Structure 1
Amino acid sequence: MKAIAILASKEFCDGIRNRWFLGAAGALMIFALGLTFVGSAPSGSVGVDRLAVTTVSLTSLAVFLLPLMALLLSYDALVGEIERGTMSLLLTYPVARWQVVVGKFIGQTFGLGAATITGFGVAGLFLLWLAPDSANWHGYLLLVGSSVWLGAVFVAIGLVISGLPQQRGAAAALAFIVWLVFVVMYDMALLGGLVADQAAIIGPSVFNFLLLFNPADAFRMFNLAGVEDIRAAAGLLGADMAGGLALSGALMSLFFWTTLPLGLAVFIFHRKSL
């Protein structure tokens, strides 16, 4: 455990010094603040709770930005050290390969979590001023917590990516493709199939089930399904995702998308030749 803690601490410090990651964290804070003011503006005219509208907007922001931030942190965690020769030196110490992977996962998740909590926390302070009497603060807190979890999912996926190629450039390209597939292309393909199917096979229940195969959609489902005002602010999408089955399915999806890639990363790195 001591070795894991030391590795996690090192990864945390390296992450918060990464200029690309710091830039993305700053963008998260700026966009969150912008959506706090601009995204909640229509609530007064349509009678929807201001905090609920903002939570829906921030959910979409998290889906696009947090996976990218996580992959920026983790795509070269293993292959980068192998290229620099520091991994061979590290493994001369009494540390197992699985401890290296788990330590990097914990450290990078904590770093990403700190950036996420800071960005959404600053936005939350302004929301506290704009909507102090809202009854939907638990939905906002669930958003912050699940956003940290979403980051952990993509850190684990990034570690799998980092263990596959021999060069950092190939890992970067693969990370971008993975982000594009999960955040953009999967939903486009699913919606295209839904339109072509004309509800003959893909009904609402099948559609929601297919969403669970994508961690980004599972995250969105979890945050839009749990609170009535947030479902109302999300419109028909939120209503279709309502119910305890949607919540439990989203949680199970996020759990498996965390544990399975992390286990796969350990397996790949254990068999990788340095």
Structure 2
Amino acid sequence: MLGRILTVAALELRIGMRNRWIVLATFILAGFSLALALLGSAPAGPLGIDRMTVTVASLASLSVYLVPLIALLLAFDAVAGEIDRGTLLLLLSSPLSRAEFLLGKCVGHFCVLSLSLGIGYGLTAALLWSSGEGEMAGLLDFARLIGTSTLLGLAFLAIGYVLSASVRQASTAAALAIVAWLALVVLYDLALLGLLVSGAVDSLSPSVFPVALLLNPADAFRLFNLAALGASDLVGGMAGVADSLPFAPELALASILSVAAATLCLAVLMVRRIVP
């Protein structure tokens, strides 16, 4: 079983390299992180805070937008694309189960995303460290950011597989992926903010609002990283919420893993429904 999963994963990794997915995603992540590092000297000076920590705090907010988008663009044609190309039945006619097929895709895409994050953010950490503008604590902050970003990417990969298995055309799956990104990363927070401003959930907000944030892997990722950094002095908004959570920040990581596991299981069931 493991051998078949790794075979599919290696195939997806080769496809990612051939399509320059690794290069493109790495370029995007490195470009934004280097820009934030170069612009981060302004807040670091007055606050007396390690410049690497300032950069990580900014990247924690930026990653909420970039990582889910990259993950969804990697995953949207995992099933629908195979159906579109007429290769799904061929793949599943070999001694390969539906779960092995999807898990192999997931491992391959996860490797692509992990390489991009490690190289893209690692270059910025190396630059700051070599220029003498970072400390060991800052390196640990970068390592935590990379690790939690891969978990966030895993959750959105699984969401992408569910979307891909729900349709039979890659173009439709791509449209659904963009809609999902907008809904979960942009509109979800706006909806919560609108409810709070309107006072519709005023009496329940102390208990409902943190739970609502936990249910969204993007918000859970941001809550954990900003709480771990103690970043209320560096960035506004969500950082203040992160510092006053009614639960341990580690619960946010558990929420991301739970979403990833649940949606991945759902995607496997949907693939079995498509091809009994």
Q: Please indicate, yes or no, whether the TM-score normalized by the shorter chain is above 0.5.
A: yes
Contact 2:52 2:134 in 1 (8 A): no
Offset, 1:124: 0.6
Q: Could you say which residue in structure 1 is the equivalent of 2:190? A: 188
Give me the TM-score of the superposition, normalised by structure 1.
0.92
Offset, 1:61: 1.6
Gaps of 5+ in 1: none
Give me the TM-score of the superposition, normalised by structure 2.
0.92
User: Residues of 2 paired with 1:65 and 1:254: CA distance?
Assistant: 16
Contact 2:33 2:55 in 1 (8 A): no
Compared with structure 1, are the counterparts of its residues 176 and 235 closer, same or farther at alpha carbon in structure 2 (3 Å cutoff)?
A: closer
Contact 1:40 1:51 in 2 (8 A): no
Contact 1:161 1:174 in 2 (8 A): yes
Q: After superposition, give the CA deviation of every residue in 1:103-157 in whole Å (9 maximum; x if it has no partner).
A: 0011101111110111000011112124233634322211110011111111111
Q: Could you say which residue in structure 2 is the equivalent of 1:175? A: 177
> Where has structure 1 moved over 4 Å in runs of 4 or more?
none
- Secondary structure of the 1:245 match is coil
User: Residues of 2 paired with 1:158 and 1:198: CA distance?
Assistant: 32
- Secondary structure of the 1:15 match is helix
Q: Could you say which residue in structure 2 is the equivalent of 1:77? A: 78
User: Residues of 2 paired with 1:134 and 1:96: CA distance?
Assistant: 45
Contact 2:78 2:164 in 1 (8 A): yes
Q: After superposition, give the CA deviation of every residue in 1:60-108 in whole Å (9 maximum; x if it has no partner).
A: 1211111111111110011111111111111121111110001001110
User: Residues of 1 paired with 2:237 and 2:157: CA distance?
Assistant: 31
Instruction: Decide which moves more: 49-58 or 111-120.
Output: 49-58
Contact 1:52 1:233 in 2 (8 A): no
User: Residues of 2 paired with 1:231 and 1:138: CA distance?
Assistant: 19
Q: After superposition, give the CA deviation of every residue in 1:223-271 in whole Å (9 maximum; x if it has no partner).
A: 011133x343234632432368241320121111110010000000011
Contact 1:48 1:232 in 2 (8 A): no
User: Residues of 1 paired with 2:48 and 2:215: CA distance?
Assistant: 34
Q: Could you say which residue in structure 1 is the equivalent of 2:268? A: 266
Contact 2:226 2:242 in 1 (8 A): yes
Q: Could you say which residue in structure 2 is the equivalent of 1:158? A: 160
Compared with structure 1, are the counterparts of its residues 177 and 237 closer, same or farther at alpha carbon in structure 2 (3 Å cutoff)?
A: closer
Contact 1:7 1:104 in 2 (8 A): yes
User: Residues of 1 paired with 2:22 and 2:76: CA distance?
Assistant: 12
Aligned-residue RMSD, C-alpha: 2.0
Contact 1:21 1:69 in 2 (8 A): no
Identity value in percent: 41
Q: After superposition, give the CA deviation of every residue in 1:170-216 in whole Å (9 maximum; x if it has no partner).
A: 10110000000111000011111111118732544432221011100
Compared with structure 1, are the counterparts of its residues 40 and 145 closer, same or farther at alpha carbon in structure 2 (3 Å cutoff)?
A: farther
Contact 1:21 1:72 in 2 (8 A): no
Query: How many positions carry a matched residue from both structures?
Result: 273
Q: Could you say which residue in structure 1 is the equivalent of 2:7? A: 6
Q: Could you say which residue in structure 2 is the equivalent of 1:44? A: 45
Compared with structure 1, are the counterparts of its residues 244 and 3 closer, same or farther at alpha carbon in structure 2 (3 Å cutoff)?
A: farther
Gaps of 5+ in 2: none
Instruction: Decide which moves more: 172-181 or 34-43.
Output: 34-43
User: Residues of 1 paired with 2:189 and 2:219: CA distance?
Assistant: 8
**Of 211, 218, 221, the match for 1:219:** 221
User: Residues of 2 paired with 1:116 and 1:46: CA distance?
Assistant: 28
Contact 2:50 2:135 in 1 (8 A): no
Instruction: Decide which moves more: 183-192 or 11-20.
Output: 11-20
Residue type at the aligned position of 1:138: L
- 2:233 is the alignment partner of 1:248: no
- 2:103 is the alignment partner of 1:102: yes
User: Residues of 1 paired with 2:239 and 2:136: CA distance?
Assistant: 19
- Secondary structure of the 1:4 match is helix
Contact 2:68 2:181 in 1 (8 A): yes
User: Residues of 2 paired with 1:202 and 1:12: CA distance?
Assistant: 46
